[in-house]
Amino acid sequence: MYGFLPANAVGDDVELYTDESRTNALATFHFLRQQMDKPAGQFNHCLADFIAPKSELSTINHQLSDYLGAFAVSAGFGVDDLCRKFEADQDDYNSIMTKALADRLAEAFAEYLHKRVARSGVTAKRAAHPGRIDP
């Protein structure tokens, strides 16, 4: 499943909102800045730097609209139980192979979902249905 939620940066944090009015915060993600020393004139980046900042004005007409996309994938349910069964039977090989296969399938599905969303022109559609989670 995937979705795009209305969002704005507040310092190093990103607030997600329940709808386009951006009056009710759904959740807040707290991000850290890079912790390395950088040359003079360069600053340490934070993921919140890539989201439009929240305006001091409270109405949507005066606030930059931005969104945060999220998705979740799975290789299937029951993989952990299957691995525990293999381990209880002292079958480490099949346990490791099951975990590796599940990991690769989840990674492949994440890549597929990313490509599908990018090709669907979701940037134009998300304004029409912000906050919708699509299966």
**Residues 35, 36, 40, 45, CA torsion sign:** negative
**Residues 14, 55, 69, 27, CA torsion sign:** positive
- Is 0.85 topped by the overall pTM? no
pLDDT at 117: 83
pLDDT at 17: 93
pLDDT at 71: 85
pLDDT at 132: 54
Residue 13 CA to residue 50 CA, distance in Å, equals 11
pLDDT digits 0-9 by tens, 17-75: 999 888 899 999 999 999 999 899 888 999 999 999 987 654 555 667 888 888 888 88
CA dihedral 119, 64, 46, 73 (to 10 degrees): -30
Nearest C-alpha neighbor of 87 from the set 99, 104, 103: 99
108 contacts: CB under 8 Å, gap ≥ 6: none
pLDDT at 83: 96
Is pLDDT at 129 greater than 80 in this prediction?
A: no
pLDDT at 1: 81
Contact 16, 28 (CB under 8 A): yes
pLDDT digits 0-9 by tens, 64-117: 788 888 888 888 789 999 999 999 999 999 999 999 999 999 999 999 988 888
pLDDT at 61: 53
